[in-house]
Amino acid sequence: MNTTRQGAAVNARGIGVEGPRGWAFRGVDIAAEPGTLIAVQGPSGSGRTCLLLALTGRMRITEGEAEIAGFPLPKRMGSVRARTAIAHVPGVADLEPALTVGEHLKEQALLGHRFQGLGASLPWSKRNKEATRARIDAALAAVRLDPATLPKGLRTAVRDLERIEALRLSVALGAMHGPQLLAVDDVDLKLTGAERDQAWQLLRDLTREGTTVVAAGSDAPADALTVRTRQTDTGAAAPTPLQDDTTEEEAAHAFAETGRA
């Protein structure tokens, strides 16, 4: 079993997720080595977001078999969640428009202290501050987000970021604690051609450092492993738990299954 913090191998055979309103996706096969860039493509409503949540242990698969980093799904969903992270997923991993870049980064950095034996340190202690600063600097460097290029540096509010900058911040937050697998949704949504290239290059760089990346988007690079979702036999996939027309009861059930980590 792979228990290190290197990339996760992904193996899935005929997996699918069925909910109260039908199949979100089904019949997906994946065989990927650690450090692979996996591009999830398919028409709107074909279950791309649900697939990302399923592969990170945040949504229970109801058909087929899967192993992430050696842990079987759905039996070991908790173990998979602990070794994976999500970024840029609407309704699950959103940025708060009113908060600043620095506030997002500091909050996420502090969340990881308990895993590094720093939980007992006072928040204002020198050791804690140094660990937080180092974690933030490493995350910014990994996604090539230079605070000096932002209007107000780390004090820039999220609502004032360009789309590509917001994506970089989201990925930095997701990758900050060294997940074996990072899932990123809507990678190139509403980006220019040049920005799309930057977005995919950002994810490719993460895989070169060893992280396995699963990303939903269009115009995936040729060197990515492409996985396609398709609409179900009923003509359209069941709406994901994150879509606006989902009932409160369905949303509550979905979040109970997925969690928010």
Give the pLDDT band (50/70/90) at residue 5.
Answer: low
Residue 215 falls inside a structural domain = yes
State the helix-helix crossing angle for 101-111 and 126-143, rounded to 10 degrees.
120
Give the gyration radius of the chain's Cα atoms. 18
Residue 243 falls inside a structural domain = yes
How many domains does the chain divide into? 1
Closest CA to 76 of 23, 24, 1, 176: 1
Residue 3 falls inside a structural domain = no
Cβ distance 147 to 122 under 8 Å?
A: no
| Residue spans of beta strands (DSSP E) within the chain | 10-19, 22-32, 37-41, 63-68, 71-73, 84-87, 181-184, 212-216, 225-228
Region 226-232: mean pLDDT is 85
Give the pLDDT band (50/70/90) at residue 128.
Answer: confident
Q: What is the pLDDT of residues 83-124, one digit of tens each?
A: 999 999 988 999 999 999 999 999 999 886 544 444 445 455
Whole-model pTM over 0.75: yes
pLDDT, mean over the chain: 85
Q: Which domain holds residue 46?
A: 10-258
Cβ distance 183 to 40 under 8 Å?
A: no
Query: Tell me, what's the pLDDT at 190?
Result: 92
Q: What is the CATH number of the domain that holds 87?
A: 3.40.50.300
Residue 1 falls inside a structural domain = no
Q: Which amino acid is at 59?
A: M
Residue 114 falls inside a structural domain = yes
- Pick the more confident residue, 132 or 239: 132
Which tokens sit at 40? 């999830």
Residue 240 has pLDDT above 70, yes or no: no
Residue 75 falls inside a structural domain = yes
Residue 34 falls inside a structural domain = yes
Region 55-74: mean pLDDT is 97
Residue 6 has pLDDT above 90, yes or no: no
Residue 112 falls inside a structural domain = yes
Give the pLDDT band (50/70/90) at residue 219.
Answer: confident
